[in-house]
Structure 1
Amino acid sequence: MSKSDPIRENYYAAVERVDQVADVLFYVTALFSIVSLFVEKGSYPRAYEVVQISFAVFVAVLFVIGLGSRLYWTPRAEDKRRQDFFASACGVSLSHQKTDGYYNNDFTKPIQRMAAQVLENSHFSKAITLRMAHMERIKVGIYVLIWVLCMLCRKADVAWIVAVSQAVFSEQILSRWFRLEWLRIRCEKVYDDVYRMFQSKPSGLTFNAMTLDSLGTYETAKATAGITLSSKLFRQMNDRLSAEWQQIKADLGI
């Protein structure tokens, strides 16, 4: 439904590129950790030195990129998205970069419009994180299977077990999956809470408080999980989710 989203194009696209670079560096680092098992220091001192130095450099670069993503690129994108969120809810301009058709409801009062925007955001987020989780589960399942086989194989060298364990329990594999599943669950909760709020139609002050509470839950969930939603999946699912959103609005009379 979104006709124009400069926030995604100018800020979230950068976050995705950084995350992709981090993923590549992770696999390169994992590869070097495995290669180091085959290079003996006594037999190939020069090659051993190159492998170890390369491994250390890639680890350091991965650390710097990860830190930059957490402290600069992602917060910058989230700040711009929040500016656009509140600007749309309140009918004001907080930035020259404005989305067109990103939020879709007919409310004019800021809090009511804000509540509808949280419902729309969580509707999209829970669906996209679910699709992302499907793919992540397969990847994690493969890594965990390899790790279990290494643990069960009596002939497996301890160094191999350590190398596979470092990969499985890293930020890019098991931790990312847990954070993604947690974000999906939180988005589902926010959606259910706001949906029931529109159904029950609480009094003005209660409605306002519940809206702000749900907004806070949604924003803290995104910040804590540190997961960037896939723009590719967003484009693929946009038409279907937008049609569902129209049906949701009709059902709730908003």
Structure 2
Amino acid sequence: MSRADPIRKSYYDAVELADKTSDWLFYGGAVLSFATLFVDSVRFPDAYSVILIAFTVSVLALFVIGLASRLYLTPRAEDKRRQDFYSNACGIDLIHQRTEGYYNNDLTDPIKKMAAQLLENSLFSKTIALRMTKRERIKISVYTILWVVCLLYRRTDLGVVVAASQAVFSEQVLAKWVRLEWLRMRFEKTFDDVYKVFQSKPPVNEFNVITLDALSMYETAKANAAITLSSQIFEELNPRLSAEWNDIKAVLKI
């Protein structure tokens, strides 16, 4: 089966680039913030001014890119993904850039097909998010240990402690890890809920309501967390997860 995902290339690549740029700007700004503590503004006024200007530019750039990503790039990409999702489930083209081999099930009823697509999506999403959280846990552990060392070491300048605290408790470090962990749990719940509804085979109306509720929870979780899942991890795990999905389809007869 041929596989193609023009939506990721056309829309999500821009989101990932914005995220990576924001990370680099944040870490660059953190370094510059520490640099202001060690450069004597009286002895080296020119160097100090350059550092302050660079820090200001990095903060402004981070603000602009973050705003563009949250309000334009990410919503645009998610809208296109949803349009493709509904197009595939209902057999109606809401978007001309359709994926191939992205959703894999043999159901024909739109709601049941939607439920199967959601089950497949949540399987991939929860596994990718788990791999991402493992990396973030290591990173946040290192940052936390360094921050505690700075805090407990009595000779550490108060400015260094403040700068380190600002970095660790920022949107890009601690808050991002918490949002990712929360998103992973929501993906896991979505997968469990949809899997159970296929197993229990409730009446049609109940099946439809549970499916739509789970889909809403999945989409709102992505919107609230504002985390873009790694395309690199997706490519790495895709063969294993595709095989696992085939096993799930066989068990559920979908």
Structure 2: 5+ residue runs without aligned partners? none
Q: Deviations over 1:101-154 (max 9, x none)?
A: 100011111000000011000000000000001111111111011000011101
- Alpha-carbon separation, structure 1, partners of 2:180 and 2:205: 33
- Alpha-carbon separation, structure 2, partners of 1:231 and 1:89: 23
Greater mean deviation of Cα atoms: 157-166 or 41-50: 41-50
- The two structures have a TM-score, normalised by structure 2, of 0.98
Match of residue 157 from structure 1 = 157
Q: Which amino acid aligns with 2:238?
A: N
- Alpha-carbon separation, structure 1, partners of 2:13 and 2:48: 38
Greater mean deviation of Cα atoms: 164-173 or 208-217: 164-173
Displacement after TM superposition at 1:44 (Å): 1.5
Structure 1: 5+ residue runs without aligned partners? none
Specify the SS of the correspondent of 1:37: helix
Structure 2 CA distance for partners of 1:131 and 1:99, relative to 1, 3 Å: same
- Alpha-carbon separation, structure 2, partners of 1:122 and 1:208: 17
Q: Which amino acid aligns with 1:123?
A: L
- Alpha-carbon separation, structure 2, partners of 1:26 and 1:110: 44
- Alpha-carbon separation, structure 2, partners of 1:222 and 1:112: 22
Match of residue 200 from structure 2 = 200
Specify the SS of the correspondent of 2:12: helix
Structure 2 CA distance for partners of 1:16 and 1:216, relative to 1, 3 Å: same
- Alpha-carbon separation, structure 2, partners of 1:19 and 1:2: 30
Count residues with an aligned counterpart. Answer: 254
Structure 2 CA distance for partners of 1:8 and 1:2, relative to 1, 3 Å: farther
Whether the 8 Å CA contact 1:137–1:177 is kept in 2: the answer is yes
Match of residue 212 from structure 2 = 212
Match of residue 3 from structure 1 = 3
Q: Percent identity?
A: 61
Q: Which amino acid aligns with 1:145?
A: I
Whether the 8 Å CA contact 1:2–1:102 is kept in 2: the answer is no
Displacement after TM superposition at 1:56 (Å): 1.0
- Alpha-carbon separation, structure 2, partners of 1:58 and 1:213: 41
Displacement after TM superposition at 1:38 (Å): 1.1
1:130 matches 2:134: no
Displacement after TM superposition at 1:2 (Å): 7.3
Displacement after TM superposition at 1:252 (Å): 1.1
1:66 matches 2:87: no
Q: Which amino acid aligns with 1:199?
A: Q
Displacement after TM superposition at 1:43 (Å): 1.4
- The two structures have a TM-score, normalised by structure 1, of 0.98
Match of residue 33 from structure 1 = 33
Alignment of 1:1-254 (within 5 A): 3-254=3-254
Displacement after TM superposition at 1:42 (Å): 1.5
Structure 2 CA distance for partners of 1:169 and 1:2, relative to 1, 3 Å: farther
- Alpha-carbon separation, structure 2, partners of 1:61 and 1:142: 27
Displacement after TM superposition at 1:47 (Å): 1.5
Displacement after TM superposition at 1:57 (Å): 1.1
- Alpha-carbon separation, structure 2, partners of 1:48 and 1:240: 52
Specify the SS of the correspondent of 2:65: helix
- Alpha-carbon separation, structure 1, partners of 2:152 and 2:135: 26
Q: Which amino acid aligns with 1:105?
A: N
Q: Which amino acid aligns with 1:217?
A: M
Displacement after TM superposition at 1:221 (Å): 0.4
Runs of 4+ off more than 2 Å: none
Displacement after TM superposition at 1:215 (Å): 0.2
Q: Deviations over 1:72-121 (max 9, x none)?
A: 11000000000000000001111110000100011111000000011000
Greater mean deviation of Cα atoms: 161-170 or 211-220: 161-170
Q: Deviations over 1:159-189 (max 9, x none)?
A: 1001111110111110110000000000000
